[in-house]
Structure 1
């Protein structure tokens, strides 16, 4: 662990960032993505996070977006371990960090069984996979990877993966979980590691409609047995009919000030950085929603 790397990342990414909206029909063009991150940077977000779906390469995407902005930091949320060899990821991440010092955070994760299957791999034992993957990232290559500094964090939505992140990485990235998990994560990580929290958000002036949209988001997450197990262990129901208590705990929904209240709660519980994640499906609408949220969230940051 490099504490100076973590502290530099905290300063660079700030308390609140944005997740580039995800669509489930077709990937937005590079031109649309560049326009989106320029808008998010203008709105005040210091950091944008990207995912890895549709067979795209998360590192290539980040490289293109880094070149389209002047100051914005980019993080992978997350680069999937099944789609590239560890040494390849290590070299690519170091090249990005060398080209854009202080503007890149590498988030990695094992994802879901279907992602391993799509890559022709066996999901097997995710903890062992993540440990071995990180070990191999550190192996010598020829030619050697650039000597460039960047933080590496691990997607950790369960206690065992969180412990592994504390042991082997610069921090952790849990997502879609209540404030209580953030507090637990900070205890496990200690004060010197980076804690980035993904928070789904729904902006709607109609509180009832916002909650129903949020409920659908949570219901989709509960299709994952691992997620259901985690929220159950935290004292929430994982029933098919999602109760209001769980919805209100894991999705910031309603007017911007209501969303900001949940962001603030995660920061007070120990998060270094909270990622605002709009519902998937509407890229342009999601970017517009993040722009609408920006003034209120930047006030939380201040």
Structure 2
């Protein structure tokens, strides 16, 4: 995998903010079930947030593409509906709004709910850039420019309220950028070997949140085949295939997608199996593992699954 380039340590103030976030987030959280065809009513989202907090999750996360919903507005609604739960964006899509607007929105949430909001930022996909009339360009240059412009002066100025910024980083160069100009990183859909590499790059003081794909199903064989289909779809993206190959995972075996890759990338089976997957990422250096259900899952059924997993997962550490 080559030499791992580490980044400069955070200053003591930022390191303290990260340490506080680690305590608040806890070891495992969950992304609200994702649908790309229909947004659940606000009442259903609020009810889900309350249920997940009561189940023991100390943090939950929201997704965003471009259009359909605004992850920062959604976070505001769900922060107001819960008592102590931390909410994060996984991820706020940089094509959805100007950088200064994202900074102002995040700062307002941090002012209203101190210590309860984490801003995850991601570069999305070329079709999302095209949807707003932009060229996708170089993901690395685009992310660097966006993060640098977030703190540009505005009138009026954004609230002076601290919040964490972490960057979606599934490749080595984006990971180094996250360590250079953000508070941490949020890789997703990768094996614990990448988590270990990410921790080496980020050093001990930055926040490492890991998105872990999960397929809860008491029938282990059925769960593994569903996991295999999910990995096969991911491998259709050349960057993903190259990334797992760099980590020593051949994409295919004699029967198609290798069992070794499937088992490393998707936690599948009953609650204990999924808890074991979370523990593997935590042992590799993650501060917080986020459960990612299959996109398109029915919202109500997905919340049920997350609630059922909570007893095995919320005490994982």
TM-score range normalised by the length of the shorter chain: over 0.9
Which residue is 1:267 aligned to?
282
Q: With structure 2 as the length reference, what TM-score do the two structures score?
A: 0.93
Which residue is 1:222 aligned to?
235
Mind listing any 5+ residue stretches in structure 1 that lack a counterpart? none
Which residue is 1:31 aligned to?
43
Is contact 2:27-2:315 (8 Å) kept? no
Correspondences of 1:250-289 after superposition (within 5 Å): 250-281=265-296, 282-289=298-305
Correspondences of 1:91-130 after superposition (within 5 Å): 91-130=104-143
RMSD over aligned Cα atoms: 1.2
**Deviations 1:52-92 (CA, angstroms, capped at 9, x unpaired):** 03531111111111111111110000001111100000000
1:245 aligns with 2:260: yes
**Deviations 1:148-184 (CA, angstroms, capped at 9, x unpaired):** 0111000000000000000000000000000000000
Q: Distance in 2 between matches of 1:93 and 1:173?
A: 17
Match of 2:96, SS state, is coil
1:292 aligns with 2:304: no
Q: Distance in 2 between matches of 1:229 and 1:31?
A: 42
What's the offset of the Cα at 1:133? 0.5
Q: With structure 1 as the length reference, what TM-score do the two structures score?
A: 0.97
Work out which of the residue numbers 209, 219, 224 in structure 2 matches 1:206: 219
What's the offset of the Cα at 1:25? 2.3
Runs of 4 or more consecutive aligned structure 1 residues displaced over 2 Å after TM superposition: 237-241
Q: Distance in 2 between matches of 1:176 and 1:135?
A: 27
Q: Distance in 2 between matches of 1:274 and 1:215?
A: 21
Deviates more, 1:166-175 or 1:107-116: 107-116
Match of 1:215, SS state, is helix
Q: Distance in 2 between matches of 1:55 and 1:127?
A: 26
Q: Distance in 1 between matches of 2:219 and 2:285?
A: 30
Q: Distance in 1 between matches of 2:165 and 2:303?
A: 26
What's the offset of the Cα at 1:239? 4.6
What's the offset of the Cα at 1:220? 2.1
